[in-house]
Structure 1
Amino acid sequence: MSESTETQKRQAADSESKENAVASKKPKVESCGTGTDGNAVKKPSFLIEADAAEDKGARHTMEDASVMLLDASLDYPGNLRCAHFAIYDGHGGRLAAEYAQKHLHRNVLSAGLPRELFDAKEARRAILNGFLKTDESLLQESAEGGWQDGATAVCVWVLGQRVVVANLGDAKAVLARSTDGSQNHPDGVQTQLKAIVLTREHKPIFPLERARIEKAGGFVCPDGRLLARLEISRAFGDRQFKKVGVVATPDIYNFEVNNTEHFIILGCDGLWGVFGPSDAVDFVQKLLNEGLPVATVSRRLVREAVRERRCKDNCSAIIIVFKHN
């Protein structure tokens, strides 16, 4: 097969992808300096490029929502770089996912997310309080509106040189990190990347989750579902399940970005149902090494999940690439 024929096929495949609802937002590329500014705050040694894609899969409706903010300071400016990315996977409808999409980050900022110097304890406290405030107000609005939607969440904040990850439910964040301590080999050989899962799933069948549910008067069926209905044990909303142990308390983890961190993949459970963490990292690395933009890589990742691997669920992904200087 000639090179031109192969190129035409790829172009046709990308065009077909767009026509069949593999949606990607406008590419996001950060503009950020390096070094130290006049206030002695060290600026990050990397830039961020990110993009999102989604497909409703075999479902009739799309219940996922996502956020990509390279400048996420909003009304809370500061010397510390702040970027925010999130995927909210709705169930029972899209209302809870859209509510979290609209309110969570602002609630986290108002709760005191560090804006001048990074403080792990303050970041954790702000994120925890922001999650709980969002869930509390969501539950009130859902009660007034008579809806019972829920949503899982996987969120990332890039604060200066550090990344903070928070999650509820079964959405995941996976980090691609060099195994040999380098960004790129000088001889052009592809650097081997290790997939590191940054999140912990919250399912009713897990011992700690089951204990909380049973203490609240709920029960977990042999198939792992809460009250024979819900497959996750932490989520925004799910008003009817809050009294039997479903909470909106996230797991929170942070790490510093060095030259060994290449990219993060955020995905709903639809993506991870057909992609293993290492499999997804290899897939994304290969396309990035071919020089494809992140927008194209995110679309192809979702297209592969839905069309080739037969993901039946809604499928959403965000790829966050660290561009080291």
Structure 2
Amino acid sequence: MSIQTTTVGSYPVPDWLSALPSEQAVIDATRVVFDTQRQAGIDLPTDGELYRFDVNHPDTNGMIEYFVHKLGGIDSRVGREDTAAFRSKHEMVFRSKPAAVVRGPITEGVLNLAEDCARAGKVAGGPFKFTLTSPYMLARTLLDTHYHDFAALNMAIADALAAQAADLICDCVQVDEANIPGNPADAPIAAAGINRVLDAVKGQKAVHFCFGNYGGQTIQKGEWAALISFLNSLRADHLVLELAHRPAADLDALKELDPKIGVGLGVVDIKVNHVESADEIARRIEAAEKKLGAGRVKFIHPDCGFWMLKRSIADRKIEALAKGRDRFEGR
């Protein structure tokens, strides 16, 4: 079976959407993002995560706030004492204040991912992937004044997201996690929450992992070797892994990945402006297949989302991605 091309999630927001935002403009921009990917040769595109577009924060992709500000039991109003309490935990060095405060039992609130997904589906023009942030990553950004137990908080968020995931109509649902690679000790907690969401998904199930992509910077320190048992515990069809910006030893570690779980190979480095050539992409696929075995690579993709890159660079990178796959397969 041919290796499939996909993107990870976010895509550069069109300048005209930021300048003249409206609900119709978001729909039009979503259509443009889908069409751009399909024309470049992407088999399984995303909506660019434009369903999270916020006119007040057009340069971010809403990975945290879009979810936690809509869930019930969570207060987006963060006071001085809340900030001080969050900082005292020293859990997230790149956040100086919590995304929100948990003040009661978490419910689905006004989050409506089924509606978001359906809106994307109307302009997708074919198979597409829908993404959402993992319970563990969301939990790490919150100040909890209700559960007083991180594992319980994680599962409460997981239950709310699982209820939403059950109604998503798309070809693939991808759960995104960029915090656990730097915190492998929390693997059992993270796996429990992610699996709760995956079990609710009716279509293809994927999980994306990277070492952080905060303005193009690596946030987490770690290696894939420390996470193999965790990865093997996930009830996913395939993983979407950052590997282009990683040392070669990380690829060696993936030899121990359960054969039932497909490998999604990051072959485009989103932390640099350099546009890879088709030959570079093909060589990265070849190197992975030599180490992991023929047929183990099911998808190739960028390491992470493109939200912080210029549109002209992102467009050329995905074109190279598809051409590199074709070159590797001798098309």
Short-chain TM bin: 0.3 to 0.5
Instruction: Specify which structure has the bigger relative contact order, considering alpha-carbon pairs within 8 angstroms and separated by 6 or more residues.
Output: 1
Work out which of the two has the higher radius of gyration on C-alpha atoms and give 1 or 2. Answer: 1
| Structure with greater strand share of residues | 1
| Structure with greater helix share of residues | 2
Q: TM-score, normalised by structure 2?
A: 0.33
